[in-house]
A and B are shown apart, each in its own frame.
Chain A
Amino acid sequence: MTEDTIIAVRDLHKWYSGVHALKGVSLDFRRNEAVGLVGDNGAGKSTLINILSGLHQQDEGEIVIEGKPVRFNGPRDAMDAGIETIYQYNSMVPNMSIARNIFIGRELMKFSIRRFGWLDEDRMRRESVTAIADVDLHLRSPDAMVGELSGGQRQGVAIARAMHFRSKVMILDEPTNHLSVKETNKVIGFVRSLAEQGVTAIFISHNMHHVMACCDRVVAMALGKVVLDKRVSDTSIDEIHAVL
């Protein structure tokens, strides 16, 4: 672990009803670094990501964020620690407006008693317009339903949401699935720009070319273990394929 390690994962184990899905994974994610996470289905990528984003809990092992050991009991804990996750199935509700979607679970309120309160719809609308413009996405109205947007636009809104809440680490779980070539290039460009904005990216993909195009480092997993961890400049697609 070094000075600029933001997340350190130590000897993580996870069993799913008898299946040993993670077999002692240790990894460091550094500040302002884009890490590509590759591996076959069942390699343990999703398990690792689900633990880091608070959806599941590890059975053994430790997660250290900025030097402090943490344990996430739910997605909210991970978000509060600055980890935002963008899922392949899209973490958006189609029948709700863009503005409402950006603030789901973290609504802006005029006043509140404990966790419940009166929505500040104007501010949510205003701030979502800025958030969307900040990621270079052009949508006319924050009141449009997310269900009406294209796959790329939705992914853009998800990214805008993550950026708006000033995440330190952004996990992108297969964000380029089902996207057109043009939209894919946009997402790749975005991942590349995250480092400049001081955000660590963890980019999961099946597509090795996408990973090589936007990451500084590549981590390959197979059968619940890390089998390769190298800088992109020190490895090649052939080498990664060989270990998988």
Chain B
Amino acid sequence: MRRIIKIYLQKPELVALVLLFALIVLFQWQSGGIFLNANNMRGMLGLLPEVALVAIGVTLLMICGEFDLSVGSVFALMPMTMAVLMTQGWPFTLAVSAGFAVCALVGLINGMLTIRFVIPSFIVTLGMLFMARSLTVVISGGFPPRLQTAEIPTWLFVSFVGPGQLFRMSFLWFVLIAVLVWVLLAKTNFGNWVRATGGFLPAARATGIPTARVKIACFVICAMLAGFAGLLQSLRIGSVLPSMGEGLELQAVAAAVIGGTALTGGIGTILGGIIGATLIRVIDNGMVLSRIDSNWFKFAVGGLTILAVVGNAWLRKRGRDMKVET
């Protein structure tokens, strides 16, 4: 029994899960039952995949011991690339592939620079944040291009489906990708390498893991997930804005951290990142429903981030200090 309690106390996503549950109860009560009704759920679940997909990528990368600040810019660059190419007459499939190729390239450059020149990924991706955002504006020519929705199978990404039209297709994509990345991290040898690389780099190297390639792969996955999330948002709102995704990189990091991912690497779970992202969406939505001045949103996210980390550190220590036979 003690062993089980010990294991659960050390689960990195525990605090976030408790907070999420508490907030849902609070908002449900505050809003007089509106929070969990179908209409509101529909709105929340429609927005969730966008932040959550970015958070999944950032969480994976942080477990690997690296960091990506450029996701917010890639979030805009991907759909912008696609939209601009489509106005040039490219068919959807080619344009969307080109968009993903750009994301992969950004991830590759982030990873290569970080590893080749042994500089913190924080710096590399900070530079990329500006560069990718600038590119987005440059290729758009300053004006958002018209998204040629007639040629895009938007139903595949944003149409409402499910019982009572409760969620959008984007939610199914999100669930599918979340499961895939979770499997990758928890069930495959690649996941083992990611965790070892972020957990203790010298040990990973000494056991012959190709740590550079593992990190670069995580950078690429992270950038591509950010791009896909951007695509989902642009299809949902039916337009590509050069400013979309601004500030998203920090929300994604906050989501990962709230979910128990450590900045130092090696610790964290995909589920934690998703719970963190859900918490951010719940706060955003719940505050509106509770008629709280929405300018408090960032304050709440910030407070939650600190609270979750402090809570996590405390619980982990309690768990570690708990005496069981090894």
Question: A interface vs B, CB < 8 Å?
Answer: 53-55, 74-76, 79, 85, 87, 89-96, 100, 103-107, 109, 112, 115-119, 139-141, 144-145, 148-149, 153
Contact = CB atoms under 8 A, between A and B. Distances in A.
Contacts of B271: none
15 contacts: A55-B206, A75-B205, A75-B206, A85-B206, A93-B203, A93-B204, A93-B266, A94-B266, A95-B267, A96-B196, A104-B192, A119-B188, A139-B326, A140-B326, A148-B326
A218 B200 CA distance: 33
Given A74-B208, A105-B207, A105-B209, A94 B200 contact: yes
Contact of B192 (A75, A90, A95, A119): A119
Contact of B205 (A55, A79, A107): A55
Nearest to A100: B192
B187 interface: yes
Contacts of A112: 189
A76 B191 CA distance: 18
A95 B195 contact: yes
A105 B325 contact: no
Contacts of B325: 140
B132 to A, nearest CB: 29
The B contact surface, by secondary structure, is helix
B206 A91 contact: yes
A149 B326 contact: yes
A85 B10 CA distance: 31
A148 B206 contact: no
Given A75-B208, A109-B189, A116-B190, A90 B203 contact: yes
B193 interface: yes
A89 B325 CA distance: 25
Contacts of B202: 87, 89, 91
Nearest to A104: B207
A23 B193 CA distance: 36
B317 interface: no
Interface residues of B, number: 26
A112 B188 CA distance: 9
Contacts of A55: 205-206
Contact of B199 (A89, A95, A106, A119): A95
B189 A107 contact: yes
B298 interface: no
A141 B326 contact: yes
B320 interface: yes
A96 B206 contact: no
A95 B260 CA distance: 13
A94 B194 CA distance: 14
B180 to A, nearest CB: 13
A118 to B, nearest CB: 6
B199 A96 contact: yes
Contacts of B207: 75, 79, 91, 104-106
Contact of B206 (A87, A95, A109): A87
Contacts of B200: 92-95
B24 to A, nearest CB: 30
Interface string B299-326: 0000000000000000000001000011
A116 B189 contact: yes
A118 B187 contact: yes
Contacts of B208: 54, 74-76, 79, 105
A119 B194 CA distance: 14
Nearest to B199: A93
